[in-house]
Structure 1
Amino acid sequence: MPIELDLDDIQAGCLRGRPNPYAGAYLLLRIDDRRDGRTLMRRLVEAVHPASQMPDPLTHVSVSIALTHAGLQALGVPQDSLETFAPEFRQGMAARAAELGDTGPNAPEHWESPLGSTDVHVVILILAPDLAVFEATLQDTRAALDDLPGMSELWRQDVSSPVDGKNSFGFNDGISQPGVEGSGVRRSNRQEPALKPGEFILGYPDETGSVEPVPQPDVLGRNGSYFVFRKLYTDVAAFRRYLREQATGPGDEELLAAKIVGRWPSGAPLALAPDADDPELGADPARNNNFLYGDDPRGLKVPIGSHARRMNPRDSVVIGEVRLHRLIRRGATYGPPMADGAVEDDGADRGLMFAAVNAHLDRQFEFVQKQWIGDGKFIGTPGERDPLVAGREAGGQFTIPSRPIRRGLRNLPAFVVNRGGEYCFIPGLRALRWLGDLTT
């Protein structure tokens, strides 16, 4: 029997795609008076679209509302209810930093304020198809704070996507997403069956056949999701310099970059275009993610340890079950692009607001962060980590299989630094109204 989702109650941002291209922002708020916080919930719920609406990616506006554990406390959610949430969520990302590999420059003491603090209560993510629509939506959202002195805006991070969709490293991003049974969203890879909705939405069967316990009361937890975001600074200058230093001839820089990422800058996958970029393939959503890795067990086309293959090993032979660790990714680019050809740091803050929707923080986001990104044992390369996004204090290594002799890259710098993040809960629409109607 097909699984039916209560799409009228699920926030659209959990399952539906974002505008393309987009302009937007993350807003972080603190609740100083629970009565004003509850009023805000009642006001904001009117701006959130349900997942039952099928938006046009060229015109629609996306507004998502999430709360941290401290935010639920600040609203006055009873303690016995708070204790029914996942322990990772209750502890928060900062408390779990060492386990996640957030040490050295990535450690919470270096995070951008107020990330990782108990002051972050409400997270609002706004995405719109252009700057004018975004500014109007932002103005409307901030109007919800009018006459609420018990609410404080702490932080704003603008995000955007150029028309070509490329991230700060110059690669088309956000191509691969899992299908979700009952969502009505077309999966990006027709060769991979859709996943059970309980992998992403609470209250439904997951890939193990069980239903994750829903935070109580049921109206609060059902149809909600856990939401992770991290501000990841990207050292584009270091990335370009490293490629230049390692290149052996014309065209080798782009090839090395593609081997590290697992795709060409256009988004064309190495699995389908192993020898040269194919912009037409990269721009075709019917083809650019329609592949598996079973015909490339040694990684001659796509290195086993490349970023894209780590983030979704597909049918690769790995330790564990791939389908238990998938994420719906909602990353967004921030900061200005670096000038073409520049290899010296220009001092600009640029990178990725990584974001992911999942229902099991421990075996989804945390597993991916600790195992797929932070280790190599699951693919038989215990001395290697993700060559692109893994945090490093010392030089790393990356193997590029080839015939007759494999190629090894050594002393990889840290191309990405975590500037902070949060574990959040995205309530269903009924839950937002329930929070707004709390009285004790």
Structure 2
Amino acid sequence: MAFDFIKRIFNPDKVNIELKEIQSLILRSRPIPYFGTVALLEITDKESAKKMLKDLIPLIDSAEEWNKNEGASVFLTFTYKGLEKIGVPKESLDSFPESFKEGMAKRSSYLYDIGVNDPKNWQKEFKNPNIHIAAAVISNNEADWKSKLEEFRTKISENNGVEVLVSEDFGATEEVKNVFGFRDGISNPEVEGSGIDVPQGFDRPIAAGEFILGYPGEGDITKPFPQPDILGKNGSFMIFRKYQSQVAEFNQFIKDNSSSPEEGELLAAKMVGRWRSGAPLVLSPEKDDKELGENPEKNNNFSFKNDEFGKKCPFSSHIRRMNPRDSKTFVLEDERLHRIIRRSVTFGDIVPPEVTKNDGKERGQYFMGISANAMGTLEFLQKQWINDGNSQNLGSEKDPMVGLQDQNSLFSMPADPLIKRYRGLQTYNIVKGGEYCFIPSLSALKWISELN
């Protein structure tokens, strides 16, 4: 259980990782509210790109003050082709994982990216084979965001070796709700050695090596990382995926399967695992509790231990699938090895529950997930916890919110006296593109910018 919505306590005596080297994105919480821009870049000339990188490095914050979310931050990541294009030596390129080298589109069969999610159906910008850099500017206030964004754009435009392929804005209010109207981003794991001082009642931090390269993981083993050390250590990998949300279709499904607005809200909450306010069903199973949902010290302080039959929060709900906590799953898996730091951001407007006609506008989420084994983690989550029900003894039942639904789609809801089953779900979050990215340390960025 994490606590992104409260002041995270920093204890310098608990720091044993190199915070000055780590990009702030990895450890710093998403600000509340937030304003930002995401950009995808193509390198057209490596010497000019290296000069641009050198100019951009002063804009990129380290994680040294991860507990502060004031002002604007810039982060920058490379795809494998980007590292190749800017001139990283072959022996270093060869030290990266094969899944990263292949890229997300070529790993579609491992990700269950088929049907509407198949890369052949992605937006044309993401079909471009020359996505080399993924970057973003994010701030807790509009003025700082615009100022930093202008500085970022100026430094790019001054160098002719980089072309902007995509530039899109995102943002959320103090309520931090996604386009479905649900409070978002409540739960994130904490990183051991970062200086985090975890209050009583919250999960203990996860070993740094699960998220940051060059440190021991949960098994006290430091896994191989890209070489030389200056390139790989203190870096990480990032999943970048764009989702188009089908909110009107979700609202229509809720309307078709309920006899009143109150019953509809309960069904929607059962599919997510939380009420729209953020209140978890485990703590408030009968009705929404706005005060609980807005209380950062309580809205994530729960487990599924006392809901072994799923009558409060269904086994197939989105939050229970993505973080089983201490559920008694039918397939034994160490959930701590499959956690991911989420820095996802929302774009587009919120669609009210009564709207059931799709207006065709772009709205959804840029999913940004960070892990030292981001590729393997995403491929596990997609194939097992999201699109397969075996871990919860649910057969072929999929995650109702992010699963790829088919003609036999089903959502089951344990209840008294009999279990309720709902059919006819659609894919409510469609993948429109994505890429695997490497997050270099500050020293690695400097090293890349100085390559001969």
Category of TM-score, reference length = shorter chain: over 0.9
8 Å Cα contact 2:71/2:141 also seen in 1 = no
Counterpart selection for 1:44 from 46, 51, 56: 56
Q: Does 1:427 align with 2:440?
A: yes
Deviation at 1:132, TM superposition (A): 2.8
2:119 corresponds in structure 1 to: 108
Counterpart for residue 194 of structure 2: 183
In structure 1, what is the Cα distance between the partners aligned to 2:408 and 2:424? 4
Counterpart Cα distance in 2 of 1:125 and 1:147: 18
Report the residue type matching 2:336 in the other structure. R
In structure 2, give the amino acid aligned to 1:434.
W
Q: How many aligned positions are there?
A: 438
Distance 1:157 1:190, change over 3 A: farther
Return closer, same or farther for 1:321/1:76 CA change in 2, 3 Å cut-off.
same
Match status 1:27 vs 2:43:
no
Give, in whole Å, the separation in 2 of the partners of 1:282 and 1:48. 33
Out of 154, 167, 175, which is 1:156 matched to?
167
Please give the residue correspondences for 1:37-436 in structure 2 after superposition, counting only pairs within 5 Å.
37-57=49-69, 59-185=70-196, 190-318=201-329, 319=331, 320-339=333-352, 341-436=354-449
Q: Which runs of 5+ in 1 are unaligned?
A: none
Task: Return the offset for 1:131.
Answer: 2.7
User: So what's the TM-score if we normalise by structure 2?
Assistant: 0.94
Q: Which whole-Å CA distance do the structure 2 matches of 1:269 and 1:184 have between them?
A: 28
Separation (CA, whole Å) in 2 of partners of 1:149 and 1:362: 32
Question: Match of 2:27?
Answer: 15
Distance 2:286 2:22 in 1: 43
1 CA distance for matches of 2:291 and 2:302?
16
Q: State the alpha-carbon separation in 2 of the partners of residues 150 and 363 from structure 1.
A: 33
SS of the equivalent of 1:154 reads strand
Give, as a single letter, the amino acid of the residue that structure 2 aligns with 1:336.
Answer: D
Q: Distance in 2 between matches of 1:249 and 1:19?
A: 36
Report the CA distance shift for 1:203/1:21 in structure 2 as closer, same or farther (over 3 A): same
Native 8 Å contact 1:22 1:160 kept in 2: yes
Distance 1:180 1:157 in 2: 30
Shift of 1:150: 1.4
Greater Cα offset, 312-321 or 237-246: 312-321
The one-letter amino acid of 1:290's match is N
* Deviation by residue 1:45-64 (Cα, 9 ceiling, x = unmatched): 1111111114533x331211
Q: Which runs of 5+ in 2 are unaligned?
A: 1-12
Q: Name whichever of 267-276 and 176-185 sits farther off.
A: 176-185
Q: What letter is aligned with 1:141? A: F
CA–CA separation in structure 2 for the residues paired with 1:347 and 1:87: 37
Q: SS of the counterpart of 1:184?
A: strand
For 1:236 and 1:250, locate their aligned partners in 2 and report how far apart those are by CA, in whole Å: 16
**Corresponding residue SS for 1:354:** strand
TM-fit CA distance, 1:146:
3.2
Q: State which drifts further: 229-238 or 101-110.
A: 101-110
The amino acid that maps onto 1:210 is I
| Equivalent AA in structure 1 for residue 68 of structure 2 | D
Task: Tell me the secondary structure at the aligned position of residue 160 of structure 1.
Answer: strand
Q: What is the root-mean-square deviation in Å for CA atoms of aligned residues?
A: 1.6
Contact 1:180/1:197, CA 8 A, preserved across alignment: yes
Question: CA shift at 1:299, angstroms?
Answer: 0.6
Aligned equivalents of 2:190, 2:58: Cα separation in 1 = 28
Percent sequence identity is 39
TM-superposed CA distance for 1:408, in Å, is: 0.7
The range that moved more, 256-265 or 338-347, is: 338-347
3-state SS in 2 of match to 1:145: helix
What residue identity is the alignment partner of 1:147? E
Would the alpha carbon gap of residues 129 and 100 (structure 1) be closer, same or farther in structure 2, given more than 3 Å must change? same
